Amino acid sequence: MEQQYEHGVNTKIIHAGRRPCPENMALSTPIYQTSTFGFDEVLKTGIPRGKYVYSRFSNPTNTMLEIKMAALERGDCAVSFGSGMAAITAAILTMLKSGDHLIADEVLYGSTYEFLNKGAPRFGFEVSFVDTSDTDQVIDAIKDTTKLIFFETPANPTLKLIDIKAITEIAAEAGLRTIVDNTFLTPYFQRPLELGADVVVHSATKYLNGHGDALGGIIIAPFEFAEAVRAGVLRDMGGALSPFNAFLILRGTQTLSVRMERHAQNAREIAAFLKKKAEVNEVFYPGLDRKLAHSKSLREQMSGFGGVVSFEVHGGLNESLKFLNSLKLCTLAVSLGDTASLIEHPGLMTHSVVPKGDRDRIGITDGLIRLSVGLESVEDIKADIEQAFDQK
């Protein structure tokens, strides 16, 4: 039997899900900007399987994005959503029922933390926040009612690394499922499904889109789970991705490989630059994580370290605000993955919903700054940081 040939990731980034339009052979995926789809006739058997009906359920433009993302993450299929949070909440709501318990890492994107801390209990879920980089803490947190482990790696905003394979092996042995948020590294640098994860989620708003002009979210999962998401939470709660935004994200994914390489190259240089600055207490970047030297599985789960660098400045809140307000090139803004460098204060911005005591305990101090390193000339980013630190 002839072995099936599999394209490399760079080829998949361009060609997966890309089909000439059957009407006129247009090479770019058309924007099917319609809310509903017509039928040729009414059938006694109901709607034929696979027929487009209403864009809240599915849309041809969205389908092309879903095919591409399933191919890139090497999953069965994908479901698109109007935002990353819509994807995250849909995955969790599909997986859990009232009375279930989930384990989540203690370092999460602020809105994810807020949903699990305040929203999930309204659905009857119990949540334990632990340091999932410590497998003993994960094992100790497992209960009879535990069904799910959820984490990001690298974690937002401390860039903490979590051993995906170690956690998925613990989960499999205990009969649990895992969801991994792969937003920071994308499938170009990391593919959690290959390491045993059950479901991968993305904020497609970030690196997948890459241009800061569209919101979106993606779930990549086994076929049965993806179908349950589409027929349940997506259909009934309505967090659908617009076809226009699907088109923009599809456009962005075509340059994912070259953008991620440049983001990572610039970030490595900025991390090294910041380590030499007297104004900086500590630099957090996956390539600098001490655990990498001692963990073969951590080294092997990533082929690159991404474009986000966090660092803690001397002087806490006052000095961090003085620095941020003195920048000229780096834009003070939430979000990440844009072509431009975006910088923010997690404690006051993206993670302000986390109580201060908890922020301090997990490393989100008043002096912590998160920088999404853009595609500018790296010397210009350095110069901007330099002049901001020089302001007295």
Enumerate the active-site residues: 56, 109, 181, 206
DSSP 107: S
Closest to 60 measured CA to CA, from 32, 40, 35, 21: 32
Kind plus residue range of the DSSP H or E element containing 280: strand 280-284
Cis before 346? omega within 30: no
Closest to 309 measured CA to CA, from 371, 386, 374: 371
The dihedral region occupied by 128, where left means phi > 0, alpha psi between -120 and 50, and beta the remainder, is beta
Burial 234-267 (b: 16+ CB within 10 A, else e): beeeebbbbbebbbbbbbbbbebbebbebbbebb
- Measure the CA–CA gap between 270 and 374, rounded to whole angstroms: 11
Cis before 222? omega within 30: no
Instruction: Compute the C-alpha angle 238/68/27, nearest 5°.
Output: 105
Angle between helical axes of 243-253 and 60-73 (0-180°, round to 10): 40
> Chain-centre distance of CA 103, in angstroms?
18
DSSP 193: G
Token output for 47:
């709607």
> Chain-centre distance of CA 317, in angstroms?
28
Residue 171 CB partners (closer than 8 Å, separation 6+): 149, 177, 178, 196, 198
C-beta atoms surrounding 7 within 10 Å: 12
- Measure the CA–CA gap between 246 and 80, rounded to whole angstroms: 8
